Amino acid sequence: METLRYFLFDVCGVKAGWKMENVLDEEIKVIKETVGPDEHVICALSGGVDSTVAATLVHKAIGDRLHCIFVDNGLLRYKERERVMETFERDLHLPVTCVDATNDFLSKLKGVEDPEMKRKIIGKEFISIFDAFAHELEKTLGTKPSFLVQGTLYPDVIESCPPPGSGSTHSHTIKSHHNVGGLPKDMKLKLIEPLKLLFKDEVRLMGKILNVPEGFLKRHPFPGPGLAVRVIGDVTVGSYLDNLRLVDEIFIQSIKDAGLYDVIWQAFAVFLPVRTVGVQGDQRTHGHAVALRAVTSEDGMTADWYPFEAKFLAEVSQKICNSVRAVNRVSYDITSKPPSTIEWE
């Protein structure tokens, strides 16, 4: 896989022994050559490192012909919309339109339990929203944007489809990343994926060169389909999403308070659609179970579970059960990648 990546770098004009500054310059050159002088571009911002660095890169190449959109799909983390929009406006100075499409996404996900189907539904709905956004821009600009920027990384490409020339005999799709595995074939916008040959640490390095705030660059990865892949089963049942947001916030804040956030690659909670018997005071409870996941990794291709101290896990479990009344059981995932993936779905 790494040999193929370096071959592709060479084909793209970045020679062996490349430096990130060279990659950056080459990507800016490619974007300028790809996007005509009168053409406009939409960038799908998720609030994560990848899409933010991609947007900053494209903005550097074409300036105000970039139009960013942040979609609240109802699958975001606790207060994510407010926090992300503040960062875009205050620190990055990117022009961003926020669209609340919660009802659109959740209505289409109702009753869907299969994770691959979830990813594809979400990918298709995102594109529908981007097309509508492009149509609205056309009224203002007099021309419809032709391109869509996404922060797809090299691991996303590898896990979503067999690499070029593999013949797909020994390479199978691990999961459909909605950037590359869930897009409709009749999509009207042409894709620009300036980070698709980079790993996460390389994207962070590029972001540093582009002066993206360090605090933003250190954010843990968040999946494109959002909490849809962290609620096992139908995401629209009851208060599953709301309960998961609270559990996840408690877990992440505890990690930050312990000074462990920067040494962990990714941490999150998973909501399990099963009820378990518990005790609260002298009363029997029938609540939900959640799983906590934290891993260390270099590039996301492989990962090891993080060995928290027992005292930390006990305190987090107690906080969760005391604060989220619907939850009465907390588990910690001690499976590495492989055999599992980092996300549960």
Binding residues: 46-52
CB atoms within 10 A of CB 341: 15
| Nearest CA-CA partner of 278 in 270, 288, 292 | 288
What's the burial of 21, exposed, middle or buried (CB within 10 Å: 0-12/13-18/19+)?
exposed
Q: Check whether the bond before 339 is cis (ω within 30° of 0).
A: yes
Radius of gyration of the chain (CA): 21
Record the tokens describing residue 291, joined without a space: 């799983």
CB 9 within 8 A of CB 18: yes
Type of residue at 119: R
Write down the residue that tokens 């053409």 correspond to. 39
CA dihedral 218→219→225→228, nearest 10 degrees, is 140
Binding-site residue numbers for ATP are 46-52
Q: Where does 92-174 show beta strands of DSSP type E?
A: 96-100, 147-149
